[in-house]
Chain A
Amino acid sequence: MTDLSLSNKAIAGNTAPPAEARSLRLPTQWLGVTPFFVFAVMFLILPTLYLMLGAFQNEAGEFTFANIVALFSANIVAAYWISIKVSLASSLIGAFAGLAIAIAIVRGGLPNWIRSATLTFSGVASNFAGVPLAFAFIATLGRLGLVTVLLNTLVGLNLYAHGFNLLSFWGLTITYVYFQIPLMVVIIVPAIDGLKREWGEAAATLGATQAQYWRMVVIPVLWPSFLGTVILLFANAFGAIATAYALTGSSLNIVPILLYAQIRGDVLHNAHLGYAIAFGMIFITGLANIFYIWFRTRSERWLK
């Protein structure tokens, strides 16, 4: 990839046309990417900008911060708070569990077929979200779910009597982890593969113990891609709605469900407050992704 772009540059440099010729050729050059940019502007950027501008306008179209201020009402803050909590918990649990599984299948000395089977399954499970996933957990940990019933009859442990509820913070988190772990595995396995054997040998030659090798080589190298992926998982959970909606209806008030209800029926009785909620979501996922890009560029230095 790098040598291709290098050769492109070299060719462009050698045959650089005079300024006038270039300005004449420019429009046809750009024609090739016009459909893409028209699509992106019309169906990604403008609709988003429209909402973001709407978040700072009142019904009469005048500039105002009132909608943003209104975001801080107790009801909406609670929705953001539970969304952030679920996203954070599911991304952290998913990240650590995914990392453990990735290390186990790459470095654990397990048979080779386990590695490829796990990777295939991760591809499937990371795309298995929404209504089917919600129902799978209802069948497992719902009031009449298999695990709930088995625990009750075999061990005499009644989950629901102990305060567990699938339609709650922990229930949603456990369900989200089902697509978070595989996503982590899919992304982090190449990073672990990128740890060169020579580093381990070099460390051993210099007299490092296994623990020192992990602490001073592996963790610093994996750290940026790990943290970057945590952020990606966070954004992934934060925007998800179908799973939560199928699982809890509207009984658990997370931001995407609040926005869904607002779009459907203006439950907040203020169209521009809906825009402000959308703005808040983009603000949070955007912030997360800026960190992600930053960490990714740092991690790619090591994985070339």
Chain B
Amino acid sequence: MKSGRFWAWFVFLLGAAYFFIPLIATIEFSLRMRRGVYSFDAYKVVLGDSQFQATFMFSVIVAVFTILLGVLIVVPTAYWIRLRLPQLRPIVEFVTLLPLVIPAIVIVFGYIRMYGSNSPLPFLGSNLGANALLVIGYAALALPYMYRAVDTGLRTIDVRTLTEAAQILGAGWGTIIARVILPNVLIAVLSGAFLTFAIVIGEFTMASLLNRPAFGPYLQNLVANRAYEPAALSIIAFIITWGCMSLIQILSRFAPKSANRPN
């Protein structure tokens, strides 16, 4: 047992070293912009760059719309599958897993060929259409995570009783979903939302191939042309991902209390 604990520590510390050294190296590098002393110059330059602000804002807005679209598609579907069409569950689950099978680059390649400016549905003919297509593509990418999060949330509530109670009180389907089901699975929806945010905010492939002025392509361009700023941005990106994941963790602590009321 004693040697077991030694090996456990050994493996853990080895892993910790592999995961922390690149972070430390990046932080160290990001502080070296001013010759001879450590400074936050790189962060100042990056955060003050108007292009950073523009692309980052663009990606945040795209992420928000992606989350809205994802919720709009996933919540009613997962609810309906649980309530009325459990026989469709395998098909819907299979479809939600498709984005893990089809690489993002293939999906966006298909979009470019199908929705080009000469096609019957010319999404790519206008700026707004291309932005919409980017949101749609991200919603597709996030589908597996969003669906699983919402479905797990629905599992903890009694969908049938809630629905019947709401119907007796005279609620229509829209009211039931928006004012009864959604608040009850809000925590699950939020964790799906933060995961979506973490995926979307730095995404490169789709944004780049659809020629959108997003944060991912901006980062890519910066890596190719600058030295210290990308290091600062990598740290910022890591902190954003960290923030999203810790919010999910904090939320999941609240989940059982607010969602699972057996009585």
Binding site for B on A (CB under 8 A): 1, 4-5, 7-9, 29-30, 32-33, 35-37, 39-40, 43-48, 50-51, 54, 97, 100-101, 103-105, 107-110, 114, 118, 120-121, 123-125, 127-128, 130-140, 145-147, 177-178, 181, 232, 235-236, 238-239, 241-242, 245-246, 249, 256, 259-260, 263-264, 274, 278, 281-282, 285-286, 289
Contacts and interface: CB of A to CB of B under 8 A. Distances in A.
B137 A33 contact: no
Interface of B: 1, 4-5, 7-9, 11-12, 15, 18-19, 21-26, 28-29, 72-74, 76-77, 79-82, 84-86, 88, 92, 95, 97-114, 136-137, 139-140, 143, 155, 159-160, 173, 195, 198-199, 202-205, 209, 216, 219-220, 223-224, 230-231, 233-234, 237-238, 241-242, 244-246, 248-249
Nearest to B217: A131
Pairs of residues from A and B, 3 with the lowest C-beta to C-beta distance, nearest first: A108-B8, A47-B110, A239-B103
B60 to A, nearest CB: 16
A32 B216 contact: no
Contacts of A286: 101
A229 B95 CA distance: 19
B8 A109 contact: yes
A263 to B, nearest CB: 5
Contacts of B15: 97, 100-101, 104, 181
26 contacts: A4-B155, A30-B85, A48-B107, A50-B113, A101-B12, A101-B15, A104-B11, A110-B9, A123-B249, A124-B245, A130-B202, A130-B216, A131-B202, A131-B204, A131-B220, A131-B223, A131-B230, A131-B234, A132-B202, A135-B26, A177-B18, A278-B109, A281-B106, A282-B103, A286-B101, A289-B100
Contact of A51 (B76, B110, B139, B173): B110
B69 to A, nearest CB: 9
A260 to B, nearest CB: 6
Given A131-B202, A135-B223, A178-B22, A33 B106 contact: no
A109 B202 CA distance: 37
A40 B101 contact: no
The SS class assigned to the B binding surface is helix
The SS class assigned to the A binding surface is helix
B101 A235 contact: yes
A178 B19 contact: yes
Contact of A278 (B84, B106, B137, B234): B106
Given A35-B77, A127-B198, A147-B25, A245 B220 contact: yes
B113 A256 contact: no
B109 A274 contact: yes
Contacts of B29: 139, 146
Contacts of A256: 103, 105, 205
A136 B101 contact: no
B220 A39 contact: no
A51 B106 contact: yes
B228 to A, nearest CB: 10
Given A48-B102, A128-B241, A264-B209, A120 B109 contact: no
